[in-house]
Chain A
Amino acid sequence: MYAKFKYISIAAIALSGVNMNRLYAQQRAIQGKVVDAITQQALPGVNVRISGQNQGTLTNTTGEFTLNVTGDALPVLEFSFVGYESQRVKANGTNLTLLLKPSSTDLEEVVVVAYGTAKRTSITGSVSTVSSKAIENRQVSNITKALEGQVPGLQSVASSGQPGTEATIRIRGIGSINASSAPLIVLDGSPYAGDINSINPNDIQSISVLKDAASSALYGSRGANGVIIITTKSGVTSDNTKINLNFTQGYSTRAVRDYDQVSTDEYFQLYWEALRNKNLSNGLTAEQAASNASKTVLTDLNINPYGSQYPQPVGVDGKLVAGAKTLWDDPWTDVLQRTGVRTQADLGFSGGSAKSTYYISGGYLNDQGIAIESGFKRYNLRANLDSKVKSWLNVGLNIGGSSTQQKYPQSEDSNTANIINFTRLVPSFYPYYERNADGSYVLDGAGNKIYDFGEYRPSGATPRNNLAASLPLDRNDIRRENLSARTYLEVLFSKNLKFKSTYSVDYLNGNTHNYTNPLLGDGVNTGGYVYRSNVRTVAQTWNNLLTYEKQFGLHALNVLAGQEYYDFNSSNINGSRQQFVLPYFDEPAAASQLNNFTGSSVDYRLLSFLGRAEYNYDNKYYFSTSLRTDGSSRFSPDKRWGTFWSVGGSWKLKQEEFLKDNTTLNQLTVRASYGGQGNDNLGTYYAYKGLYTIANSLGKGGTYTGRLATPDLKWESNLNLNVGVDVSAFENRVSLSVEYFNRRSKDLLFTMPMAYSTGYTGYDANIGALKNTGIDVDIRTVPVQNDNFKWSLDVNLSHYKNKITALPKDNKSIITGNKLLRVGGSIYDFYLPEWAGVNPENGLPQWYTADKDGNKTGEKTSEYSKAGNFIAGTSLPDLVGGIQNSFTYKNFDLSALLSFSLGGKILDNDYIQLMHSGNNPGRAWSKEILERWTPENTQTNVPKLTTDNLNWTSASTRFLYSGTYARLKNVSLGYRLPSDLLKRIGVEKLRVFATAENLLTFYGHQGMDPEQTVNGATYFRYPAMRTISGGIQLVF
């Protein structure tokens, strides 16, 4: 199969080479100038090419171009430029002036697609783009966080607010159960395996999101979950170098307030009540129970914030004794959280001669987090060079390099070192500086306050720990150096045939340095501890593509054929030591005891052959088809090769006679595509062998069973139907694009559950099928447009339904954690004990029971283990989208992006920590606990307090909350200084602006940041940040 491709391409080259020498005879020059149709300003960088040929150029800084044409016939020139409507004109004359209209819609723009670029009109598939305008000066460190609410069909969820973390992106639903559902990222033409953090959003020219088969099947085994193509800026021919300077400075705080907690007075009385209730159930009399509780409150909580004159601050009546008043209130946010400072500066140079262009930029970012000792720093540079070495040879090189430092103290997980959770769990009556019994601070010899490590705190309040003291002495650093290079060589054999060979490499070196100091906190008992790790990842792609393009009368044909080889290697080493001899030394060399040292590596390779053909007739009827075959090292030799394909077509109704003269309608297109893509990303690189895990023990070799052999494992495949219609009208002031999709995933890679007693939890298998069907709507309007004022309003909406259509073993349902996979349900359907309220009689929690068949009996139980599990809705939203408003008035501009997600549920495991019944003394309590059951308050949703674990905070529908929210992701207000004023000082553009990220959040469940994971789970994570910044943009 793949061999055939090669011979075809070689033959094609051999034939076409014959004509090569004739190409450059009979030349004449066409000159021209391109200006903005509205402002009359010259447009640099416009792509000018001769229709049906590879020959083309870009306009220089004054908007001028020169093209050499051959032959007598009047050539047709095509002008295209991002953000403007493309035009085709006959070159009747040698000195042209062309007016390009800014496109209020993007129907005519040039977009980056798989292995090339295409005009929007010629695309038969589903491609959305995000322009640099929508990204630049967004106050996000990671580009994935800027996409939320901007692209129909794209769901972006930033579950962590820690600077330097990524958002999770899903395109058109969830395509896989166990394999990855993440889209493929492509940077400047090649799959990207570097650090997404290393890409400076201000270097990005455009982002294309490929959503259907016709657009993404060319990426074969990696295209099933969509593709995001990031293209960086390139230079334009000009006499002067254009210098671009951006600077912003901002401040970050929490986007939403944390869960409200009870006051100290309330806490002490509530805990007394828990003790009293437990004493009663232990059989003590009411009197004994109360007096014993009064005595035990301080024993359990180990602190008396009321001072020693109140040795029993809670009386036998359960109330604070008269006169008792807290001597301090020390919320730990005071010392563990802060207002973060964010600074970003970028400097760029672009320009070039007729033969070579360049874009060179450098950037600096320092994004402090809201938690102390957290933050992200980046230094990056980029050089993009393109050169016409010979009339028949183009070469280019894009290099991006970056060095980042992420300060990343533990900020998810239930680990006691989690700075976010620590702040939440330790109540404010435990002081952060040591206090005397009278509330005054204990001072050291020099008169300084002393951090209180809380040796005495109960385990619910994280004893022996004070992150405010220890973190500044510790290290939690991740340093990464990323180098991404894309280099190409393009040979123009004839005006119709070209060959392009691209070699790309992404090199990423990540170095982690964790250090626990020996002086304070955890490290005291081990003499300090250091962990160092290094991960080196190198991904190389080499592809060779042959493109043939020809116009035969009204028929236009474009054929691409090629080959690609991908090689990925990641290797790591890590080790740790403890027992530092001297304080303030934090490298392993200074620690005397070796704990361990280990290392490993993985390899992954992919060999591919691909081809695509596009045809259109008279710019009315478009057809495209693609084919790719991939061999992957992940699977057994027998199942290794897979073939992926697509077909697509579109019909430009507006070009037809019956609509040609309709002046209201500017565009009417219907499109459809269908095809199959693959997904091999199982999370394991050796998906077919029976393996024993290496577990050496006490100096001898050791292994134990890892996975069962699965020689039949193969690709997941995705059959993807897309039908769309694009309409624009009223001088393109209103445009609408509606797409329906039906993605069917089959042979899903899944861990087939096995009974735990077999010694395995499951094996990998291609089982079952699911589908995602939905609608994406993209509306772009310009409601008002006049000389001084323009208002544009864009809305995008996506709705999809995720549905499992087949499961193994006669469609038997499968439980995975707290979800149930069943035919007809979504992959994220919660399957939980159903909360049946608090028993008004005795205050115990209740759940519904199930009969043998799993049906609800209506009976309730207070024993959690007897509760039945029931379907309780999905975590997937019904509707996600964004609303973008932009206003320009004279030199002012204002824009606002609101993103929203309606429907879907989240199981709040963070909150339950604050909802214990009194069985975790010293752990903070949420406000809601005040509503606990008492003999007087029997109608409530919070059970009685007792020091027993009633298991009531175990997962149930009680803690399932709506995930609906809307977030004002970005608001930006700018003023552009008048250009005639600026010209006098040699400045082309000067804009000052203020911008805010996550300014407002509208949501339901107080305290829980609504942006959690796609599967609806919280995990004690770093909350989203609100960043408010001011900045300046200067071009000269």
Chain B
Amino acid sequence: MKLKIIYILLALSLVNASCKDALELDPTTSVPEGEVFKNTDNVATVINGTWKYLNDTYFTYANPGYTAVMRTSDAMGSDVAVTTKYGYRDAYAFTELTNNRSNRVNSFWIMLYKVIDNMNNVIAKVDGAEGSAEAKNVLKGKAKALRAFSYLNLATFYQFSYLKDKNAKSVPIYTEPSTLSTEGKSRSTQAEVYELILKDLKDSEGLLASAAIGAKYEININVVYGLLARTYLQVGEWKLSAEYAEKVAKNYNLMNASDYQDGFNDLGNKEWIWGHQQTNEQNVASYTFHYLDVSSAGSYYYSFMADPYFKDLFDTSDVRYALFEWDNLPGREGFLRYKKFKFKSNLIGDIVYMRASEMVLIAAEGYARAGEKDKAVAALNKLRIARNAKLFLGNDTDQLISAILIERRKELWGEGFALSDILRTQGKVVRKSYVDGEGKPIQVEIVGADGKPKLVNGQGHRVIKFPNGSDFVANSPYYLFSIPYEETVRNPNL
């Protein structure tokens, strides 16, 4: 028996010895860094995964990824009369983005810089991976474009226009992968940030020149041209801006009247250059339609109502005019729907980032500001023809530019350009209450539940002044997105 016990114990000790290797374990929902940068196929996952992070991350239900940045830009402009529903009512009232402790302020900042760091990793490490030089160029080109896109957003919303003061402190720049020892950086000037954006985009232009055009949610040469057009418009390189815009625009047809009624929810739309696709499985970004979509039964917040005065900007023959409708449902009577965005079935919808009409309008604006009036009018009228709107026939440059900017509001409503245009052009928000000269609500006719017409108060803007009671002005700090309080604390170099 003695011996038996000794054997048992010896066996136990052997088991124990073999257990030592058992302490080496790997996770199943994450990949070790070394594996990611092993070859170009693996590196490609970082670009694809970062794109998903940017688009399909819920920070809150009101902040379902990057689409929230665009919605916020619209809510802080002149043409969307955001209702009291959850989501964008505080942004609309200019009390949210100035609050540097708000969720939205945190989430935008974290989101954009997370993308930057991921792209920095790709740019720095892709050369060390196995794979062809072509594959590496394509990855680097996409990474630089996406990094430039993030910095362009930061430069747009966190400081006034480059043309106002290019030496104004903007946001910190990071171009290397962050490590344990990375310290927070100080804010660079608008000039430095735009220099980086342009360099990245120009590099990308070369790197992606001969790359295949993939799905529309992937970055390709057209997207790079479009981003260059946007960037040149920001920095006042009018001609370059127009030329790059035209380079893209010529590759796409404009929507016809019936396409315009389809709900702006599908990547397959012929005008779309860049966007994000949604599926039954991947549908976080679709949540944005609960705010944008004011006519589908499944929309939960339907808070992006149109300002009734916005309707007056359109000719009645305009194909876009048909999208207006006074809401007649109980509880929302008298709000003005602009039925541009609609859910697909299953409550999903693709997100538009960039489409041909914007490029046509950039071309128009670029040429107009560069003094090439004919080209500008031609571009503007190209769009107006497609929309069945009255053509621009004037000859005055200021009128032309003003017409182009109004056309941008009309064409790009709800696509994220309202506040960015106001900041870029150093304009101001224009909002009026929907009341008559005596301050009484203006009555509008709707079809009641009983099928008979009835008069109700038309609902327009609720907030027509800044929170401190002052009038809207150009270059107001209320327009800027705050740098989060936490960043100011964690980054003493800021």
- Give the chain B neighbours of A856 by CB distance below 8 A: none
> Given A757-B113, A757-B172, A948-B93, do A690 and B469 touch, yes or no (CB 8 Å)?
no
- Give the residue among A602, A685, A754, A761 with the most B Cβ atoms within 10 A: A754
A10-B10 CB under 8 A given contacts A602-B27, A607-B23, A759-B117: yes
A957 to B: closest C-beta gap in Å: 15
Stretch at the interface among A250-258, A629-637, A887-895, A975-983: A629-637
Among the listed B42, B182, B280, B486, which residue makes an inter-chain contact with A758, where contact means beta carbons less than 8 Å apart?
A: B182
Give A595 Cβ to nearest chain B Cβ, in Å.
5
Closest to A596 in B: B281
- Count residues of A near B (Cβ-Cβ below 8 Å): 103
The answer on a CB contact under 8 Å between A491 and B5 is yes
Tell me the chain B residues, 453-476 only, with Cβ under 8 Å from chain A.
457, 459, 462-465, 467, 469
Does A119 reach chain B (CB closer than 8 Å)? Answer: no
Which residues in A have their C-beta under 8 angstroms from that of B27?
602, 685-686, 689, 691
- From B5, B30, B184, B435, name the one whose CB has the most chain A CB atoms within 10 angstroms: B30
Q: Which residues of B contact A525 (CB under 8 A)?
A: 297-298, 347
Chain B 32-58, CB-CB to A under 8 Å as 1, else 0, gives 111010000010111011111100100
**At the interface, yes or no: A41 with Cβ under 8 Å from chain B?**
no
Residues of B within 8 A of A930 (CB): none
- Chain A residues with CB below 8 A from B9, complex form: 6, 9-10, 13, 544
A139 vs B331: C-alpha distance in the bound complex, in angstroms? 47
**Distance from B233 Cβ to chain A, minimum over Cβ atoms (Å):** 26
Return B480 CB to nearest CB of chain A, in Å: 12
A691 touches B301 (CB 8 A): no
Bound Cα distance from A2 to B15, whole angstroms: 13
* A694 to B46 Cα, complex, angstroms: 9
Cβ–Cβ contact B490 & A755, under 8 A: yes
Nearest neighbor of A842 in chain B, beta-carbon distance? B469
Main secondary structure of the interface of A (DSSP, over half): mixed
Contact B185 A704 (CB under 8 A): no
Chain B residues 273 to 308 lying within 8 A of chain A, measured CB to CB, are 277, 279-282, 297-298, 300-301, 303
Q: Which residues of B contact A602 (CB under 8 A)?
A: 27-28
| 210-250 of chain B: CB within 8 A of chain A | 215, 217
- Cβ of B433: which chain A residues have Cβ within 8 Å of it? 282
The closest CB in chain B to the CB of A280 belongs to B469
Nearest-CB distance from A707 to chain B (Å)?
A: 8
The reply on B314 being an interface residue by CB < 8 A is no
A281 touches B469 (CB 8 A): yes
Given contacts A9-B9, A607-B16, whether A705 and B28 have CB atoms under 8 Å apart is no
Contact B282 A697 (CB under 8 A): yes
Whether A815 sits at the interface, judged by CB under 8 Å, is yes
Tell me whether A760 and B95 are in contact (CB under 8 A).
no
Complex interface: chain A residues within 8 A of B117 (CB): 705, 758-760
Cβ-neighbour of B6 out of A14, A600, A601 (below 8 A): A14
Q: Is B259 an interface residue (CB 8 A)?
A: no
- Which residues of chain A from 647 to 699 have a CB within 8 Å of any chain B CB? 685-686, 689-698
In whole angstroms, what is the CA distance A603 to B22 when docked? Answer: 10
A20 to B281, CA, bound (A): 69
Which residue of chain B has the shortest Cβ distance to A699 in the bound complex? Answer: B279
Q: Which of A522-579 contact B (CB under 8 A)?
A: 525-526, 544, 563, 565, 567, 578-579
> Is B441 touching A295 in the complex (CB atoms < 8 A)?
yes
Q: Are A692 and B33 interface neighbours, CB within 8 A?
A: yes
**Residues on the B chain within 8 Å of A499, using CB:** 5
**Chain A residues with CB below 8 A from B467, complex form:** 948
What residues of B have a CB within 8 angstroms of the CB of A563 in the complex? 12, 16
Chain A: CB-nearest residue to B96: A949
Asked if B132 is at the interface of the complex by the 8 Å CB criterion, the answer is: no
- A594 part of interface (Cβ distance < 8 Å): yes
**CB pair A756 B484 closer than 8 Å:** yes
Asked if B395 is an interface residue, CB under 8 A from chain A, the answer is no
Tell me, rounded to whole Å, the shortest Cβ–Cβ distance linking A950 to chain B: 8
**Inter-chain contact B282/A698, CB cutoff 8 Å:** yes
Contact with B along A275-287 (1 / 0, CB 8 A): 0001001111100
Alpha-carbon separation in the docked complex, A864 to B95 (Å): 10
Is the Cβ of B482 less than 8 Å from the Cβ of A865? yes
Interface, chain A (partner B; CB < 8 A): 2, 6, 9-10, 13-14, 17-18, 20, 278, 281-285, 288, 292, 295, 299-300, 302, 455-460, 463-464, 491, 493, 499, 525-526, 544, 563, 565, 567, 578-579, 593-596, 600-605, 607, 631-633, 637, 640, 685-686, 689-698, 700-710, 753-761, 763, 815, 863-865, 919-921, 947-951, 954-955
22 contacts between A and B (CB under 8 A): A18-B2, A458-B84, A460-B84, A544-B12, A565-B16, A595-B281, A607-B20, A633-B22, A633-B24, A686-B30, A690-B32, A691-B32, A697-B282, A698-B282, A708-B180, A758-B184, A759-B118, A761-B110, A920-B84, A948-B95, A951-B95, A955-B101
Q: A459-B85, A701-B49, A756-B106 are in contact. List 14 more A-B contacts (CB 8 A).
A: A20-B1, A281-B469, A292-B435, A544-B12, A563-B12, A697-B51, A698-B282, A702-B48, A702-B50, A755-B185, A759-B113, A759-B118, A920-B84, A949-B89
Ordered nearest first, which 4 A-B pairs have the shortest CB separation?
Answer: A759-B117, A702-B49, A755-B184, A456-B331
